Structure 1
Amino acid sequence: MKKLFSVLVATALIAACGTTNTTTKSAETKKVTNDPVTYANTITSEDLKTALYTYASDEFQGRETGKPGQKLAINFLKEHYMKYGVPAAKSDGDYFQEVPLDILGTPDVKLGVNDKLFTYKEDFISLSSGKTDNFSLDEIVYAGFGIDDEKFSSYGDVNVKDKVVLIKSGEPKNADGIYTITGTSEGSKWSNMRQQFAAKRIAAKEKGAKAILFYFPEVYQMVVAQFGNASGRMTLSDNSEEAYFFLINTSLAKALLSDIETNDISNTIKTKMTLDYKNISEKVTSENVAAFIKGSEKPDEIIVISAHLDHEGVKDGKVYNGADDDGSGTVAVVEIAEAFAKAVKDGNGPKRSILFLNVTGEEKGLLGSRYYTDIDPIFPLENTVADLNIDMIGRIDPKRKSENRNYVYLIGSDKLSTELHNISEEVNTKYANVELDYTYNDENDPNRFYYRSDHYNFAKNNIPVIFYFNGTHDDYHQPSDTPDKIEYDLLENRTRLVFYTAWELANRENRIVADKAEKK
């Protein structure tokens, strides 16, 4: 008995010592793993390569929106999020957010003013997918420049609800060339070549306009050449609240208001107008994929990490694999999700929530991201802290003059939030040491990259953004954009940079301030 007792005591002491050591090691491990480097190191070129060789394979048929290859892509993403233990963002547990789309045919439109019938394409062109309808009226509303801004509004003295609204391009400025809205010689979004289309359409729609006639003579022929034949162009599906949106030429504009060139005063115009619109389109459904890690302390504040899941599909029997565009961004988002999931498993999950958003229809006109921001945000936009958007980060821009291949173009980081830009710089210096190149960080850059990826739909809603981009190359939108041409060490570095930036945004004490956002 004595010997047995001694053995039991010794065993107990050993067990106790073992327990103490394990507890200490566990505490030490947790302390170490709270360092983001631990999780960033799980993002490897090998894992990115393995994922991309599948995602950008011929099997996925170029991932064209609404086609079978795109369905393979969304299931690939769902399976990986489930494998890593990252739940669906939607409350019903579905990873897929349906995005209803129309494949447009040329609409059958008859538009008359004072018994004169105008001709489609020659006099006007539809820029939206309206519902089949017809109506006649005895007056329209002229809303000048069609601006609704805190510093100037064209809608102050007119009611446009359920009315047809006539607007024109540009914005007011004085004789010295100083713009009313900016107070400088530089115009605002209301006269920007591309931005004013969306800004003025949205302003009129929010005021309740039934139809919008936009006079922009400088671009009319160019737009007709580009969109005159619908030829399968894809848009978000029409809904009952959508306003018809027409670009009109000079003859139609002056039939409605003869002095439109010089008249900036909003008023009601007594005129007879008829519209008979027949929608000719094919319905198709695509999907965004949304996975979510809930924040431990500030769960209602959301960091979005986005990339588009689609590409060009198959043309003339050739698969457009889209390894760089945007297979590289897609697998980066998945790997970042895995890294955050491991942090959660270790008890070091982010304080703020992270939404991993793979959007559809980017190649068709940023449709998936626009559906998310403008129609059906899973989480309120006012709770969205920032969008880190990744589109093409696996290659090198051959036109870039610097010999440092370890770079990434950053676009938009300073547009809405000084803090976001500074945090991005500081995080890179501390952890990643990637050369941050701002060559294309200019809204007036002729390449228009700021407007050409999904971050823009967040930015236009005053949500701070960073767009990570490697630039274009000879394989851009070609069947030769294949996974064997990806620089996987650069893809790893750039993906880790996005992770570190997201980690800082999610875990810092205070939410970043959008100090440059437009006040609404």
Structure 2
Amino acid sequence: MADPVTYAATITESELKDHLYTYASDEFEGRETGTEGQKKAVNYLRQHYMDLGIPAAQENGDYFQKVPLEMAKLPKGSIKVSGKEFTLGEDFIAFYPFEGEFDEVVYAGYGIDDEKYSDYQGLDVKGKVILARSGEPMLEDGNYLLSGNNKPSSWGNMSEGIEKRVDAAQSRGARAVLLIDEDNFKRYLRYYERMKDSDRGRLGFADDKENPSLVLVSEDMAKAIFPKLESLKGSYTEEVELFANLQNSNEPIPTENVVAYIKGSEKPDEYIVISSHLDHIGVSRDGSINNGADDDGSGSVAMLEIAEAFQKAVEAGNRPKRSVVFLHVTGEEKGLLGSRYYTDYEPIFPLEKTVANLNIDMIGRIDPKREGDRNYIYLIGSDKLSSDLHRLSEEINDRYTKITLDYTYNDENDPNRFYYRSDHYNFAKNNVPIIFYFNGTHADYHRPGDTPDKINYDLLTNRARLVFHTAWAVANRDQRVMVDKLSK
């Protein structure tokens, strides 16, 4: 195998700086999803790949993968249970429309549908409204049934659990999910109140109207539907009149991922995906531009340089064995939407053939809270699914870049929950091994002060080279990265 050091050396401070001073300039207006500034960003990325001679990933030759989003205003209306009216924003929280008259509601326990345990066993919920609660079943020894130990499974995860319950209900044909979840009710209520105060909409997929409506309900509202709620064990159907009248108006928001790729020489049908998000939060109400130089201009321009390094290898006759996909995703700041579209809706390349995802989100600054060597990077998730990838990552760093690998935020109990907050997560939940490269937050995070002049370009260069070397190793090793742990 060719020595990758020559190609890694093409990743330079000067080129990263040139890219970033354009990509995170005022001209790009903070790159908010669907805006003119974001269009300038995707055109800049596309032009770079065209100039390098790296083709589009899609067979039609289009570098832009269209992501159908729409801005939905908060719904208006109420829900009546047996003639009693419940108030949106007080008794329940909903962000999408929900209309219809129903004469029964099905209690589905935890709303879990898993190989080890299912609340849907023998339950017909097609076209019906279900009510479920947060949490998951426990064993008599105090361990969780699904994980088999004292740690909850992903069904018990505050963020992931909701999505999994909605997906389960959708697969069973349910019309709506009413969810009792005290912690998320408080969290969603804060989000609802902010949206109401600012009169802003919620960005989501244009086809979400086909998915089950999600309604977080208070304990009192749940008991109005199921008077014997506290004593229910297992599934139960309550005959009750439920009338939902939640309506809103939607505005299409055209946006796109940018996807290029280098075809592999020996294993072209196996893929390593390198990703970063191309968007940021745009312009503040006072007109200040949030340039997003670190978040995630640093990851975006690092990818451009990594792609160039791979292409230099191709031109020298050293094409990688596996295909390398360069995925710039939209809508990360709106809820990981671009990456979710790629993984859950329209993967350009099969996820079962995707060997690994290396995700870069903020690698240009220094975390002021961190003590120690400035030449560090936080690694998150490298050992979650693949011990193989974790070992390889450390070996590559020891051999080439000698960065201090800090696993502080890899802790299962990390209150920041960064593992769930960037685009790698949509690959990880599909059991694709991932590494998330991250420098931590700082005072300019999501503020106008996140500008290109504050980037540590020497660190950005070395961190980008680490990603390149790791990607090179994954792409060229004889065996694909082994998955020895599965997302539960």
TM-score, normalised to structure 1, is 0.90
Residue 259 of structure 1 deviates from its aligned partner by 3.0
Residue 104 of structure 1 deviates from its aligned partner by 2.3
Which of 289, 297, 304 is residue 266 of structure 2 equivalent to?
Answer: 297
1:485-512 deviations in Å (ceiling 9; x for gaps): 1111110100000001101111111111
For residues 324 and 239 of structure 2, what CA distance do their matches in structure 1 show?
Answer: 53
For the pair 1:144 / 2:109, whether they are aligned, the reply is: yes
Conserved? CA contact 1:166–1:214, under 8 Å = yes
Q: Choose 141-150 or 406-415, whichever is displaced more.
A: 141-150
For residues 454 and 201 of structure 2, what CA distance do their matches in structure 1 show?
Answer: 31
Conserved? CA contact 2:92–2:218, under 8 Å = yes
For the pair 1:66 / 2:34, whether they are aligned, the reply is: yes
1:467 is paired with a residue whose SS is: strand
AA matched with 1:91: E
For residues 505 and 78 of structure 1, what CA distance do their matches in structure 2 show?
Answer: 25
Partner of 2:12: 44
Partner of 1:234: 203
1:198-231 deviations in Å (ceiling 9; x for gaps): 1212221222211111111244233212224352
Q: Choose 218-227 or 189-198, whichever is displaced more.
A: 218-227
In structure 2, relative to structure 1, the CA distance for the partners of 1:232 and 1:134 (3 Å cut) is closer
For residues 487 and 31 of structure 2, what CA distance do their matches in structure 1 show?
Answer: 36
AA matched with 2:160: Q
Partner of 2:353: 383
1:275-334 deviations in Å (ceiling 9; x for gaps): 223232222111110011111111111110000011111111111111111000000111
Partner of 2:400: 431
Which of 84, 89, 106 is residue 74 of structure 2 equivalent to?
Answer: 106
For residues 299 and 487 of structure 2, what CA distance do their matches in structure 1 show?
Answer: 29
Residue 430 of structure 1 deviates from its aligned partner by 1.3
AA matched with 2:36: P
For the pair 1:496 / 2:465, whether they are aligned, the reply is: yes
AA matched with 1:203: A
Which of 147, 157, 165 is residue 130 of structure 2 equivalent to?
Answer: 165
Q: Percent identity?
A: 58
For residues 73 and 178 of structure 2, what CA distance do their matches in structure 1 show?
Answer: 21
Partner of 2:315: 345
Q: Choose 387-396 or 135-144, whichever is displaced more.
A: 135-144
Q: Which runs of 4+ in 1 moved over 4 A?
A: none
In structure 2, relative to structure 1, the CA distance for the partners of 1:478 and 1:239 (3 Å cut) is closer
Which of 9, 19, 23 is residue 55 of structure 1 equivalent to?
Answer: 23
Partner of 2:384: 415
For residues 444 and 226 of structure 1, what CA distance do their matches in structure 2 show?
Answer: 23
Partner of 1:198: 163
AA matched with 2:20: L
Conserved? CA contact 1:74–1:289, under 8 Å = yes
AA matched with 1:451: Y
For residues 471 and 433 of structure 2, what CA distance do their matches in structure 1 show?
Answer: 13
Partner of 1:9: none
For residues 441 and 235 of structure 1, what CA distance do their matches in structure 2 show?
Answer: 28
For 1:103-142, what aligned pairs fall within 5 Å after superposition?
Answer: 103-127=71-95, 129-130=96-97, 134-142=99-107
For residues 178 and 262 of structure 1, what CA distance do their matches in structure 2 show?
Answer: 22
Partner of 1:465: 434
Which structure 1 residue ranges, 5 or more long, are not aligned?
1-30
2:283 is paired with a residue whose SS is: strand
Residue 239 of structure 1 deviates from its aligned partner by 4.2
TM-score, normalised to structure 2, is 0.96
AA matched with 1:178: N
For the pair 1:332 / 2:302, whether they are aligned, the reply is: yes
Partner of 1:307: 276
Q: Choose 107-116 or 480-489, whichever is displaced more.
A: 107-116
Residue 134 of structure 1 deviates from its aligned partner by 3.4
Which of 438, 441, 462 is residue 410 of structure 2 equivalent to?
Answer: 441
AA matched with 1:167: A
Partner of 2:239: 270
Conserved? CA contact 2:260–2:325, under 8 Å = yes
For 1:202-213, what aligned pairs fall within 5 Å after superposition?
Answer: 202-213=167-178
Which structure 2 residue ranges, 5 or more long, are not aligned?
none
Conserved? CA contact 1:145–1:264, under 8 Å = no
Q: Choose 295-304 or 222-231, whichever is displaced more.
A: 222-231
CA RMSD of aligned residues (A): 1.6
For residues 19 and 231 of structure 2, what CA distance do their matches in structure 1 show?
Answer: 58
1:18-52 deviations in Å (ceiling 9; x for gaps): xxxxxxxxxxxxx8xx2111111111111111111
Which of 78, 82, 97 is residue 46 of structure 2 equivalent to?
Answer: 78
For residues 433 and 233 of structure 2, what CA distance do their matches in structure 1 show?
Answer: 34
Q: Larger radius of gyration, structure 1 or 2?
A: 1
AA matched with 2:24: A
For the pair 1:216 / 2:181, whether they are aligned, the reply is: yes
Partner of 1:28: none
